[in-house]
A and B are shown apart, each in its own frame.
Chain A
């Protein structure tokens, strides 16, 4: 049972570089989301998707892009990395979080931007 798979686990970028964080789930969940976790801030929603072809912004979307071409995959793109984007990123999926269904989280990507 793979669940939610995130790659890479660690990444170091230089300011201005771009990269894509990968997320895949094998539970046929329609809902997928990206969070960042910073000390003292908890988990903050970046972007989410309620199905293939449908995405929307969360609380902190600036500097990030997403797309959802398949049910399984939901990559997060950093367009031009900034030190403020140093964080731990989590991908999560669910059947229906709006109905209280639980989120399944990946193991996270630790990103450092120098």
Chain B
């Protein structure tokens, strides 16, 4: 069983819809939780990160962590065609070995 599970999708939504992305994990040592966005043929870029349970907002993006359930989420409000990308969750314990989810490919239709 992989340490981080993420539904690869693909996910297709109309413009303006709310996008909901999720990851589950098994390693209770994970302390930092991140979401990376990757456009086609590009390297991933950090979108959001958090280290505690609860919600964190940044514009149209909300990251949610539930450590008791080992579950993290990313919500994108008022989705735009420019949000079309692959979204990868990532987690790290207190060392250097990040674990990534498989990535969910999102398409926002104009």
Q: Which residues of A contact B (CB under 8 A)?
A: 4, 31, 33, 35, 40-45, 48, 50, 56, 58-59, 90, 92, 97-100, 102-103, 105-108
Contact = CB atoms under 8 A, between A and B. Distances in A.
B44 A43 contact: yes
Contacts of B46: 102-103
B43 A106 contact: yes
Interface of B: 4, 6, 8, 31-32, 34, 36, 41-46, 49, 51, 88, 90, 92-98, 100-103
Contact of B92 (A50, A58, A98, A107): A98
B42 to A, nearest CB: 6
A97 B91 CA distance: 10
Q: Which of A98, A106, A107 has the most CB of B within 10 A?
A: A98
A108 B44 CA distance: 10
A56 B96 CA distance: 10
A100 B30 CA distance: 11
B103 A42 contact: yes
A90 B94 contact: no
